[in-house]
Structure formats: C-alpha cells, structure tokens
Amino acid sequence: MPELPEVEVTRQSFASRVEGAQILGVRLGKPLRWPLGCEPTALVGLAVGAVVRRGKYLWVPLRAHPPMEAPRGGLLIHLGMSGALTFGTAGVVGLHDHFDLQTSAGTLRLTDPRRFGSVVWSPSLIEDPAAKLLSRLGVEPFDASFDGAYLHQALQRRRQAIKLVLLGGDVVVGAGNIYACEALFAAGIDPRLRSDKISRPRAERLSTAIRGILERALSLGGSTLRDFHDAHGMAGAFQQEARVYGREGQACRVCAGLVRRIVQAQRSTFFCAHCQKR
DNA sequence: CATAGCTCCTGACCGC
DNA sequence: TGCGGTCAGGAGCTAT
C-alpha cells in the first residue's frame, strides 16, 4: 500500500505529537518481517526524538532521559504492503495489531494484516541493521540532486524496462506501483522502454513527472486503495486522480484510447499505448 | 555489478 | 453460502 506519499503523510500525522514523549512499554504481536532486534524492556524510559523519513522507511530516534544524553539508537519502521500506523489512545488490540510503542503522549501502533512490514531497532542510522536496509536506496525525489541530469546518467547503466527501475528504488526512492505508472503516463513514456534508451530530454520530463506526481499525492493525503489511512485515520484522495492505475479497459482521460494492463516482473503495469511512446 | 525469480502473509474478489 | 483460484500498494535474498 504505502509509497512515499503515504509514508510521509503518516510521518507528519504523528511526528510532532510523539516527539519528546517517554517510552512506557512495548507490546509485540505476531512476528513481522524481521525481529525487533532488542529486548522490548530495553526501550522503556527512553525519549522519542524527531521522526524522519528515508524512502519508505521511518526512523524514530530514541535517546536517554534527560534529552541531553546521547542517542540510544532508534526504530526503523517499514509499512510493507499493508501496514498502517496510528497514534493516540490505544484501543482494544485487534487481530492485526502487531506492534505498540506505548509512550507518555500516546501509543504508536502498527496494524499490518500481511506482516510484510517491520520495526527494527538499530544503534544508529549508520550501523547495522539500519545501515544495511538503507544502503542501496537511491536519491530522494525532493532533493535538489534529483534532476534530469542525474536521472539520465543513472538510467544509462540499466537495461531493464524503465518501470522496473523506478520500482527498484535504487535510482530514486518513493515511487511504488501506483506512482511509477502515473509518473510514466505524465512523462509520456512507455513503461516497457529500456532505461538506457531514454534520452536526456525525456529523463528531464520524467524527473519532473516523478516529483510532480509524488507532490500532488502528498498534498491530497496519499492514495487510499484498500484501506490506507494516516495516524489520524484519514483516508487519501489521490486515487481519484489516477490517469492509468487501476483503469484497465477504460478510456484514457487524455486521448480516449483504451488503458492497457500488462505484467512486468509479476506486477501489474497500467498505461496508454497512444499517449506513452517507446 | 545487473538482473530474474522467489518469498514472506492475509484478505478481497470472482466465477462456479 | 462455500470453495478454489487469482491478485494485491514492497523489497530483501539468492542464484546466475
């Protein structure tokens, strides 16, 4: 579910409220993708710092009380395919609530039916396991370093279809299946086109499209396909603006041709063969 | 190094 | 209503 906009919307919905809170306890449900990596009780008494996002990961820094003391690592959280975080008064523990961080300001809860998500303790962002999980991530789409020149240069080294390179996240992070499809539509590029065949001008358009689509989704609170919501329980609205994603067989909103669905690396790709060229 | 395929898990949906 | 098959927003791991 969650791509960069959904993760960022989630972060914004609880970061300021949890910052400075003290950890009172940790509750673990069924196993997530990886074990927590520390004794849950070892976190009790630590204070929560400023939550930051890297790609689709959230880093929750922890430090000893009082806050002047050195950092005591943090929690690296990923929402996987079906994860959602809520923050507030902890209600009844549901079937899919697999992690609670109980703090003096409220409980941060991960609800994740498929359990592809993870909460992993790490001593810092530059030490394992956090460093390992973040090491191959590409640039942030909103960084100044992400531009047409960078994208073109990075794509020159790949022969995979452009859609798969965007999904890979090692050139630029943040676009999952929905936004990769939408960005390629916006840029007028066929998702099957080999990355190294993309010209400099088209790379320029694509970088602009990726940033634009993610920005637009962010401003709309993300996409709600099945049940995404932020930590306040708010749904997103971007999916109503989708030009191609999930619209197989429907008329393209630009040329009225039929939107097609193909499968690339076992994942659906939606595109308009008339508007998107090789 | 780049790439292809597999994998984790549960729920929703579709056709019979 | 029940059953089986298919598909789903992610991404690390392994083998080549």
CA to C1' distance (Å), from A167 to C16: 22
Residue that wins the pLDDT comparison between A80 and A223: A80
What confidence category does residue A240 fall into, taking pLDDT thresholds of 50, 70 and 90? confident
Q: Is the pLDDT assigned to residue A66 strictly greater than 90?
A: no
Least confidently predicted of A63-72, A206-215, A241-250 = A63-72
Residue that wins the pLDDT comparison between A129 and A67: A129
Task: Name residue A93's amino acid.
Answer: V
Return the SS3 of A211: helix
User: Mean pLDDT across the stretch A189-207?
Assistant: 97
User: Mean pLDDT across the stretch A73-99?
Assistant: 95
Nucleotide with the nearest C1' to A226 CA? C9
Reading the block at residue A274, the tokens are 């008339």
Please list the active-site residues of A: 2-3, 56, 267
pLDDT at A140 (0 to 100): 97
Phi then psi for residue A245, to 5 deg, are -60, 125
From residue A273, give the alpha-carbon distance in Å to each of A148, A179, A190, A269, A270.
Answer: 24, 18, 7, 12, 10
Q: Is the pLDDT assigned to residue A67 strictly greater than 70?
A: no
The DSSP bridge partners found for residue A261 are A270
From residue A220, give the alpha-carbon distance in Å to each of A141, A163, A213.
Answer: 17, 24, 11
